[in-house]
Amino acid sequence: MLTRLELAKDWVRDSGNFLKENITAPLEITEKTRYDDLVTNFDQEVQEQLVQKIHHHFPNDAILAEEDQEKQSYDDKTPHLWVIDPIDGTTNFIVQKDNFAIMVAYYEFGVGKFGLILDVMQDKLYWCDSHKAFCNQRELVMKEASLAHSLLGVNSYMYRTNYSGLLDLSQHTLGVRIIGSAGISYGQLLDGKIVAYFSNLQPWDYAAGSIIADRIGYVTMTLAGEMPQLNCREKVFTAPAKLISEIQKYIRN
Amino acid sequence: MLTRLELAKDWVRDSGNFLKENITAPLEITEKTRYDDLVTNFDQEVQEQLVQKIHHHFPNDAILAEEDQEKQSYDDKTPHLWVIDPIDGTTNFIVQKDNFAIMVAYYEFGVGKFGLILDVMQDKLYWCDSHKAFCNQRELVMKEASLAHSLLGVNSYMYRTNYSGLLDLSQHTLGVRIIGSAGISYGQLLDGKIVAYFSNLQPWDYAAGSIIADRIGYVTMTLAGEMPQLNCREKVFTAPAKLISEIQKYIRN
């Protein structure tokens, strides 16, 4: 019998192929909280594909999914929890037809068991089991680099307003990159293209990335230095464990 | 006999293959004007490859190249002028091993005849002749889009300091993307992934992109609304001709 991880890899790949096949299809675009917070019929369709498959195979598992109108709250007493972002980087999906990701994470009693990030247009599936992390078949390792010789992935608002000192921090690096998708930014982190990623994220934005990155020595925490709670939007960052204390020198609360 | 354009396409492809073959080779990195203005032995090597080939085939042509220590000044009386950026996005080349470009432009009496931008790691050659623009074999056309439904490519400093009102402008769009390479940003522009690109650029940063973009309806000008002069660093932007007046409503001098 296939494991949840094996099934999830197939499901994410299937939904990625569905999006690629429909990449030029007309979109129904709806504004959510504001004019630049968009959702399409494809976000909803991909979420439904994933949710139906989980329900079919694991009817007792809980699901926290971005496009659900009413979201239940989960904690470390939930035995089986899936966290789903059907299309991360919806604006990129709409405007660029590129630089978006499907993300799925799975927790047991609050412990991340696996994560999956599919960079759909580049055909790159970042994933991990309980021990190791991979991009497609290639095992990932952390690239050693000092802050001074690295780039940061940032959220544009937090960068330009020097939120908690993020701009100050960036000036001790080679600069910032702004991609517009947490999933693609986590992919860049896992590939060693950025050394750390800072943004204002919902659980489904960081769940998969934080679990995969954990396997190769990264830590995910809030700017206040706490564990993120999987129940609200928080300012979080993911960075190599050995750079945390240097980063925290620049971060103000 | 092969034309300058046909030769230049081969030369740029050859240098791109050279960089890809050496992408994991150790780098000799030197600081130019400041700690984050870097050059490598490969910038110099690629420049030499291109300059030697131009000199060999067209000994009377003039060359303006980024890594030359002393640069002659050229104007619209120069009959044959090549403008070369051997590696655009050198920081990305060093840190990311991705998101860098080789760029070549060619002018006769100040008129751009062709431009070439090779996104080395994606194997995408953006180029034009005197009439049409292409990505590899595919003819490019401008994607019609309003400012409000588009993304901007920006320079991080000009964005966060609201230089000339650029941040204000960005707030009438779906947001900004920061890539760290003019060549890759021009590629995104030509692909319709960003609607306009704003940065503080040297002639070799915008020469090829502005010529290629011109063929499908984009205009390149300084923030002051002048033609850029090919003789100094200037704040320039490239945007669809039909959006210039709307953009200029937000740009202050």
Of B97, B177, B192, the CB nearest to A180: B177
Of B99, B178, B188, the CB nearest to A176: B178
pLDDT per position as a tens digit, B182-213: 999 999 999 999 999 999 999 999 999 999 99
Average pLDDT taken over every residue of chain B: 95
Contacts of B180 in chain A (CB under 8 A): 151, 175, 177
Of B159, B167, B180, the CB nearest to A175: B180
Whole-number Å distance between alpha carbons of A164 and A151: 18
pLDDT of residue A201: 97
What structural domains and CATH numbers belong to chain B?
A: 4-139 (3.30.540.10), 147-248 (3.40.190.80)
| A91 inside 8 A of chain B by CB | yes
pLDDT of residue A37: 87
Do the annotations mark residue B244 as ligand-binding? no
pLDDT per position as a tens digit, B68-100: 877 777 878 899 999 999 999 999 999 999 999
| B253 inside 8 A of chain A by CB | no
pLDDT of residue A154: 98
- Judged by CB atoms closer than 8 Å, whether chains meet at A176 and B177 is answered as no
pLDDT per position as a tens digit, B142-178: 998 899 999 999 999 999 999 999 999 999 999 999 9
Average pLDDT across each block of 10 residues of chain A; the chain has 253 residues. List them in order. 95 98 94 88 96 97 89 85 97 97 97 98 98 98 94 98 97 97 98 98 97 98 94 96 96 85
